[in-house]
């Protein structure tokens, strides 16, 4: 199940020589409940690439979305990406599960936030 999503983040830097990960502004992590070292799937809206990596926290208020290591070849500065985290849930857990979603503007500031319930 979807745990959290950062929608329409703009890549602010890439670093091919860094040892991996995605760097994300700590304020955005707090807003979604995403954690340092948490595995995430990234979807690049500009080129369709999808890849997995883990989170490194960036400075709060910086708006940083940095694609590091080999994944830097799969995106580019200025590209819009979607960052998603997933969890496994038992049926009884799924009934009360809520995903936290934020939608960003072009400067990676929160434009909208909402929760998506799992129940119909």
Q: How many domains does the chain have?
A: 1
Is 18 tagged catalytic?
no
Kindly report the CATH number assigned to the domain that includes residue 99: 2.40.40.20
Mean pLDDT of the chain: 96
| Residue 75 resides in a domain | yes
Out of 54, 62, 75, 85, which one is annotated catalytic? 54
* Mean predicted confidence (pLDDT) in 84-112: 95
Is 85 tagged catalytic?
no
> Residue 20: pLDDT above 90?
no
- Find residue 15's DSSP bridge partners: 68
Instruction: Enter the tokens of residue 77.
Output: 């500065």
Domain span at residue 17 reads 2-111
- Find residue 22's DSSP bridge partners: 55, 67
Out of 18, 21, 85, 96, which one is annotated catalytic? 21
pTM for this entry = 0.95
* Mean predicted confidence (pLDDT) in 61-89: 97
């Amino acid at each position: 199940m979807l745990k959290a999503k950062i929608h329409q983040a703009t890549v602010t830097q890439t670093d091919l020589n860094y040892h991996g990960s995605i760097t994300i502004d700590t304020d955005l992590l707090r807003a979604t409940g995403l954690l340092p070292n948490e595995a995430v799937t990234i979807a690049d809206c500009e080129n369709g690439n999808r890849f997995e990596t883990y989170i490194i926290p960036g400075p709060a208020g910086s708006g940083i979305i940095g694609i590091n290591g080999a994944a830097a070849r799969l995106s580019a500065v200025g590209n819009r990406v979607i960052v998603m985290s997933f969890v496994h849930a038992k049926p009884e857990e799924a009934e009360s599960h809520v995903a936290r979603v934020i939608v960003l503007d072009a400067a990676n500031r929160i434009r909208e936030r909402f929760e998506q319930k799992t129940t119909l």
